[in-house]
Structure 1
């Protein structure tokens, strides 16, 4: 029953902290992330990092990206493919090369420095999705460019990671990894076209309560599982599932029901769990390294992705808002860091440093997004008034 008490604390604290954050003029997600640090082992120790908390958190981030897919304007997504490509690729190239140089300066081997560059190239927009919703930018050109770029980022970085591990002597079959990804995306597109509408229609005819929302969750979790199985992030699978359902007549019903389930329980757990991962043990010994890598992680992604957005003819403030949304490394970078630790590409000390760096990028993302997108909106309002 200990976890039940932790759930009470998490749900109460996340809502209160979110409300305080909004009152102070910041996105609610920032307050939720910070209160997670306060509740976790690093400060009060009221919530601990357990397996069940991690599972609830995983469901939360999957549902968050599923909702993002449901609320994405698919026509706008098609139109913004070029912008997504520019943002995704430039947001990889700049962090990779700067990260590699930083690794060389830190006396890392070529493979270790390359791994650091790849980790800094990763992006997780799960936190950005919540900020986009609060800023009413989910269906905007900027929002769809961000979500499309996140898919591209995940594919390129994971394939590059597999290539690096194979070059480093790991038992990695690069051809098989690429084949799995091709099969997943090919299968996902086919399923979205034929299977998803059929499953939802069949579920809608069942004489049981909440049959449509249950059918939607079956599709969501199946896509997430298959994505994870083929080496694609589960959140990408969930996002594609949301996109598929957004094209059906049952979209509005699914959005309403799934949002209720997600935001009342699982999504708050996800936000809090990020802060719970923070540990201040030995931080003073590596403070300068953490500061330098955090600044590099923020600036390289911000500048790189913003440059891609500018190439796609977004305004400077919109470009910087898009760049800010790509800054969060989130759970994707944590997974990559864990792979690096398991394969001895990085040591335990660097792993602990990178965990804090990833958390820093995640916490700074919402206020940065708000700042740049609000500036962009203000300039548009001035032009309209003029």
Structure 2
């Protein structure tokens, strides 16, 4: 079957099932995004495994002769979806609340990096892994992927609360710290025969992150205001939304290629900057419909599609223990940081739970370790399932934390119809 026809029928199936299960979850009082993730699990190798059917397997040659598969196309669309979702999360963030949450966000992120990494490395070493393997497995547990948390908070109308702003701010800092840790581990473990070169590589990575962040905050807002002034002169409908998407994709690209960050971090920063413009409310309204009906379902279902619980095999006990370390490392580490900054015990727990998901950042880290030979294929599969398991359980745990919206926080009068789960791709 032609690849374009495969894409059409596959997307139709994904969106239909994700909305159906998401709606059922909503009626049961569960986060909508959880139903969308489970739709991917049902369609993926754990249960139905759609890739084995002739309609969805194989590949098609492009006009230039290069082969392309449906799975590859869906991976690209899912990556696009998470970028748009994080851009929307930035748009929906209360900037004043974010500024007031810088200090707790930093300490929350720091605790959420140190404790999971130390716990994961210690457990892996006790399980018989070498120190390089153990350290890298610990590194995989450091980076938080906040997209699913942001989606859940948006569904609960609590993204603009003090807890929501702290979680999102901590996730951005956490991403930076996680990349620094990853660079440091690779430099020391993979380049141990050339330690000096390794440290130069670490310094270069840290320098790129700092320079890009400084340039983004100094030049980004001015450039964005200029672009929107030009957009206002256009007669084309929805010009502001088009310009906003251009900014989103440009920041995502530059963050990864120039700044050494994850593209989702750049998209989130772009959302923060656009949120400070007069036209941000118009952009949010149009972008919500787009993400909730298309980008959100694709991203979250795609996560479920990659889960194959059958590959846990003889490492089931280690998987359970590592999952507990991944969960409690974030809850205790991030929760302690929030508690230190005078959050209530209840809100500190909510902050810790909100930082549990590893998502795409954890998957990228795991793939780097696998490609470098630091983890075997079997352990790589186990880690991938663990990363995805954290994204599945977070919406449920976060909902039952019953995060209270702070007095004075802006809350929509009616629930926002974020059916993607809104956010969720996890990620």
- The bucket for the TM-score relative to the shorter chain is over 0.9
Q: Does 1:148 align with 2:148?
A: no
- Choose between structure 1 and 2 for higher RCO, CA contacts under 8 A separated by at least 6 residues: 2
Q: Which moved more, 1:95-104 or 1:362-371?
A: 95-104
The aligned counterpart of 2:417 is none
Distance in 2, matches of 1:344 and 1:283, equals 19
Q: Is the Cα contact below 8 Å between 1:6 and 1:46 reproduced in 2?
A: no
Q: Is the Cα contact below 8 Å between 2:31 and 2:395 reproduced in 1?
A: yes
Count of aligned residue pairs for this structure pair: 377
Which residue of 81, 84, 94 maps to 1:60?
81
Q: Does 1:16 align with 2:44?
A: no
Which residue of 177, 180, 196 maps to 1:159?
180
Distance in 2, matches of 1:150 and 1:294, equals 19
Aligned-residue CA RMSD in angstroms?
1.6
Shift of 1:155: 0.7
SS in 2 for 1:121: coil
Q: Deviations over 1:64-86 (max 9, x none)?
A: 11111111111111111111011
Shift of 1:42: 2.3
Shift of 1:45: 2.5
Q: Which moved more, 1:213-222 or 1:297-306?
A: 297-306
Shift of 1:193: 2.3
Q: Is the Cα contact below 8 Å between 2:104 and 2:337 reproduced in 1?
A: yes
The aligned counterpart of 1:210 is 238
Q: Is the Cα contact below 8 Å between 1:100 and 1:117 reproduced in 2?
A: yes
Which residue of 315, 324, 330 maps to 2:353?
324
Counterparts of residues 1-386 of structure 1 (less than 5 Å): 1-46=5-50, 50-170=71-191, 173-229=201-257, 230-373=259-402
5+ residue gaps in structure 1? 378-386
Q: Deviations over 1:48-105 (max 9, x none)?
A: 6711111111111111111111111111111111110111001111111111111210
Q: Which moved more, 1:315-324 or 1:284-293?
A: 284-293
SS in 2 for 1:282: helix
TM-score, scaled to structure 2: 0.85
Distance in 1, matches of 2:117 and 2:321, equals 15
Shift of 1:191: 3.0
Shift of 1:314: 1.1
Q: Is the Cα contact below 8 Å between 1:39 and 1:45 reproduced in 2?
A: yes
SS in 2 for 1:232: coil
Shift of 1:13: 1.0
TM-score, scaled to structure 1: 0.94
Shift of 1:168: 1.4
Distance in 2, matches of 1:30 and 1:262, equals 16
